[in-house]
Amino acid sequence: MQSLPPIYKTTCKSALLAMLLTSLISCGGSSSSGGSKNSSSTSITSSSSSFSSSSISSAITSYNLTYSANAGGSISGQSSQNVAAGNTGSSVTAIPAVNYRFTGWSDGSLKATRTDSNIQQSATLTANFAPENIWSTAPYSGAMSLEVLGPRSVNVSWDDNEPRTIMVISDGITAEVSIGELPGVSWHAGVTSPFKLENLKVDQPVYVALQQDDVITAWSSTTPRKWIADGEIKTIQQMENGNIFLGGDFEYIAPDHGSAVLLPSASSGIANPTPLAFPHVNGLVYSAVDDGQGGWFIGGNFTKVGNHEKPGFAHIDRMGQVLPWQPVEGDIRQIKKRNGILYIGGTYKTVSNSYLVALSAFEINNDTPEFHVELADPAGYPEYPTYVNQVELAKDRIYVHGHINFPDNIVAIDYNGNILNWPTELIDFFSPLKIVTFNNDLYIQTEVFMLPFFYKIDAAGKAGQLSFDLPGERLWGIFSDSEYLYINIAFNAAAIGEKPAGIIRLDAQGNRSFLNIPSSQIPHGTTVVHDEIIYYINRHRDEQQVKLRAFSLKDNKDIPWATSSYPSTVSVSDDTVLISSTVLFAGRTYRPGQAVLNENEELLPEITTDSSGTRFHP
């Protein structure tokens, strides 16, 4: 027989003794001796029974586990559990409600899903939640737009005209957005679209959300700005009714958003959207990449971003706040990001390197570069300025193009900062206009006698002119995204039984397809493809103004989104588009030569003329 642990041996012996004594008592005996024996047996029994009961209880004790949720969430799983000592309970998960996030359990655990084991006592555990910052992942969501009326007023509009509750933060987001009371948040209940926000602070970002049934359904942001004109203002006169008349040699008037404007993406469904909250940049932004958290790294020829001195480089978070990191100072032409590393090309200095035309790699928020490659001396060729034009990241190398000290003004660098012996077959590209990487190959666009020519160079350095051997073929432009290479093309489609197409598209395996895009929408110049939407600069035949446009490859149609501007650069993230130009007239209004502002500097409807002469709309 298997030996039992001591506690079980004792318990069994005591229980047997108790049973024997109980049997003897129940069978009777002499009164004198019986009385004495009964008293003694009761004491033993009592003693023995007490020990036995305690031992049995120790072996089968169970504990209660109770899980609950504070306001802002709930519990998934068995909230009340009875678990035997030493055993494991069942899994429970803390589920945040809409507009809330899980912040941890009352015992300090930060894992939303928990399974408690080796239970030795009862416990009550509470899941805690906090209001979610609705701008934590994106600065825009939902079909809502904000229209800047002037430096102290904004119109809020949404799709339907049903009454909504509006939450407004105009003092900067310093606390998490709450559905309940919160300092710095103002509420407007039961208002209809459009709703006018007034008495705002000049140049302070405004964040607005719509609330319905205690759930925030949409949000957006913008920054009220003063008005500027696209030409000379020759007269400013205050009228008897308090309005201000502007006259001069201009056609458009618009809020002064500086040289960089952040817009909701073309997939937002808003036509001609008002720019989102973004600090004023006092010079051209040449390059920008999203930081993966709703913010941006920007580089260019500027000195100030908002109220901060930022010579050529700045990091702006998702709230539009300028962050302190400044790894470079100078003229930054290109920024690219890969695996948490920024690759910065331009003419600049770092904390450890002098002012040079260079490419540097920085781990984000680290001032010391991972590597620093000198490309040219900025003072070495006064008659031939040196600069970086493009930085392109391929699978195993970095290509840099510009006016630099390398053959054909192109250099290949590996990801350790070593200059590669490449290319092995040189073609006189006569200063390439543009380079594009795709599938680890390099594509080059150059120009001869005003006509573009295109070349392909593989990683081994083998070069050749790009051609698809189509009848009447003529290539006009090239661009790419993570999946495809796109080439603007003209050819005789009927000769090979194809439908007319303006773009040929290649995948990584070399398979080609033709995109039948209307000729008026074929992109030229600055072109970016993101999430099957082409953002490009073009002039419609029926329009005089060049503007930024968008075209959906999913639906094969133009998106009525483009802002009336002529940007030099376009950068796209999942939710927003950052555009830049020397002068931007985002949200501009046609006012040829004369405009009227009211006392709050809001732009009034245009001037009309009747039989009695010129008059103004109130």
Q: Please list, in sequence order, all residues whose beta carbon lies within 8 angstroms of the beta carbon of residue 154, skipping any fewer than 6 positions away.
A: 146, 147, 148, 196, 197, 200, 206, 208, 222, 224
Mean pLDDT, range 463-467, rounded to an integer: 89
Position 79 scores a pLDDT of 94
Mean pLDDT, range 221-227, rounded to an integer: 91
Query: How many Cβ atoms sit within 10 Å of the Cβ of residue 200?
Result: 20
Q: Please list, in sequence order, all residues whose beta carbon lies within 8 angstroms of the beta carbon of residue 260, skipping any fewer than 6 positions away.
A: 278, 281, 285, 288, 298, 578, 579, 580, 584
Predicted model pTM:
0.79
As a whole number of angstroms, the distance between CA 253 and CA 589 comes to: 5
Strand order from edge to edge, sheet including 329-338: 329-338, 341-349, 356-363, 371-376
As a whole number of angstroms, the distance between CA 115 and CA 16 comes to: 41
- 142-186, pLDDT tens digit by residue? 888 899 999 999 999 988 888 888 988 887 665 455 555 566 788
Is the pLDDT assigned to residue 58 strictly greater than 90?
Answer: no
Report helix, strand or coil for 452: strand
Top mean-pLDDT range of 294-308, 479-493, 572-586: 294-308
User: Across all residues in the chain, what is the average pLDDT?
Assistant: 82
Contact 176, 96 (CB under 8 A): no
Per-residue pLDDT band at 25 (split at 50, 70, 90): very low
Burial label for 497, CB within 10 Å (0-12, 13-18, 19+), is: exposed
Q: Please list, in sequence order, all residues whose beta carbon lies within 8 angstroms of the beta carbon of residue 90, skipping any fewer than 6 positions away.
A: 77, 78, 81, 115
Mean pLDDT, range 466-492, rounded to an integer: 91
Position 523 scores a pLDDT of 66
Which has the higher per-residue pLDDT, 242 or 543?
242
DSSP one-letter string for 66-94: EEEE-TTEEEEE-SEEEEETT-----EEE
- 306-362, pLDDT tens digit by residue? 999 999 999 998 888 899 999 999 999 999 999 999 999 999 999 989 999 999 999
Q: Please list, in sequence order, all residues whose beta carbon lies within 8 angstroms of the beta carbon of residue 269, skipping any fewer than 6 positions away.
A: 143
Position 27 scores a pLDDT of 37
Q: Which residues pair with 537 in a beta bridge?
A: 524, 548
As a whole number of angstroms, the distance between CA 429 and CA 427 comes to: 6
Q: Which of 39-48, 370-379, 562-571 has the lowest mean pLDDT?
A: 39-48
In the 3-class helix/strand/coil scheme, how is 383-447 assigned residue by residue? CCCCEEEEEEECCCCEEEEEECCCHHHEEEECCCCCECCCCCCCCCCCCCCEEEEECCEEEEEEE
Mean pLDDT, range 469-496, rounded to an integer: 90
Per-residue pLDDT band at 131 (split at 50, 70, 90): confident
Is the pLDDT assigned to residue 45 strictly greater than 90?
Answer: no
Nearest to 102 by CA among 125, 124, 79, 70: 70
Position 519 scores a pLDDT of 64
Position 557 scores a pLDDT of 85
Name residue, tokens 């391929």. Answer: 394
User: What does the block give as tokens for 507?
Assistant: 């995948």
User: What does the block give as tokens for 8?
Assistant: 């079980």
Q: Which residues pair with 264 in a beta bridge?
A: 576
Q: Please list, in sequence order, all residues whose beta carbon lies within 8 angstroms of the beta carbon of residue 517, skipping any fewer than 6 positions away.
A: 501, 502, 503, 551, 556
Position 545 scores a pLDDT of 56
Contact 175, 133 (CB under 8 A): no
Which has the higher per-residue pLDDT, 499 or 610?
499
Position 52 scores a pLDDT of 39
As a whole number of angstroms, the distance between CA 408 and CA 431 comes to: 6
- 345-359, pLDDT tens digit by residue? 999 999 989 999 999
Which has the higher per-residue pLDDT, 182 or 481?
481
Mean pLDDT, range 290-298, rounded to an integer: 92
As a whole number of angstroms, the distance between CA 302 and CA 280 comes to: 11
As a whole number of angstroms, the distance between CA 334 and CA 287 comes to: 5
Per-residue pLDDT band at 196 (split at 50, 70, 90): very high
In the 3-class helix/strand/coil scheme, how is 499-539 assigned residue by residue? CCCCEEEECCCCCEEEECCCHHHCCEEEEEEECCEEEEEEC
As a whole number of angstroms, the distance between CA 297 and CA 318 comes to: 11
Instruction: For helices 6-27 and 31-60, give the axis angle rounded to 10 degrees.
Output: 150
Per-residue pLDDT band at 13 (split at 50, 70, 90): very low
Nearest to 77 by CA among 125, 118, 119: 125
Per-residue pLDDT band at 436 (split at 50, 70, 90): very high
Top mean-pLDDT range of 172-186, 244-258, 532-546, 598-612: 244-258
- 245-265, pLDDT tens digit by residue? 999 999 889 899 899 999 999
Strand order from edge to edge, sheet including 503-506: 474-480, 485-490, 503-506, 512-515
Mean pLDDT, range 286-297, rounded to an integer: 93
- 212-222, pLDDT tens digit by residue? 777 788 889 99
As a whole number of angstroms, the distance between CA 86 and CA 224 comes to: 63
Contact 551, 533 (CB under 8 A): yes
Per-residue pLDDT band at 141 (split at 50, 70, 90): confident
Burial label for 554, CB within 10 Å (0-12, 13-18, 19+), is: exposed
Q: In angstroms, how far is CA 401 from the centroid of its own chain?
A: 28
Burial label for 181, CB within 10 Å (0-12, 13-18, 19+), is: exposed
- Alpha-carbon torsion angle 329, 330, 335, 340, nearest 10: -10
Q: Encode burial over 339-360: b for 16+ CB neighbours within 10 A, e otherwise.
A: eebbbbbbbbebeeeeebbbbb
Per-residue pLDDT band at 520 (split at 50, 70, 90): low
Is the pLDDT assigned to residue 66 strictly greater than 90?
Answer: yes
Position 144 scores a pLDDT of 86
The Cβ-side half-sphere exposure at 186, using a 13 Å CA radius, reads 12
Position 75 scores a pLDDT of 95
Position 607 scores a pLDDT of 65
Question: Between the CA of residue 29 and those of 5, 36, 46, 542, 603, what are the distances in Å?
Answer: 37, 11, 20, 123, 115
Using a pLDDT cut of 70, give the percent of the chain over it.
81
Measure CA of the first residue to CA of the last residue in the chain; give whole Å.
Answer: 105
As a whole number of angstroms, the distance between CA 432 and CA 446 comes to: 5
Position 589 scores a pLDDT of 86
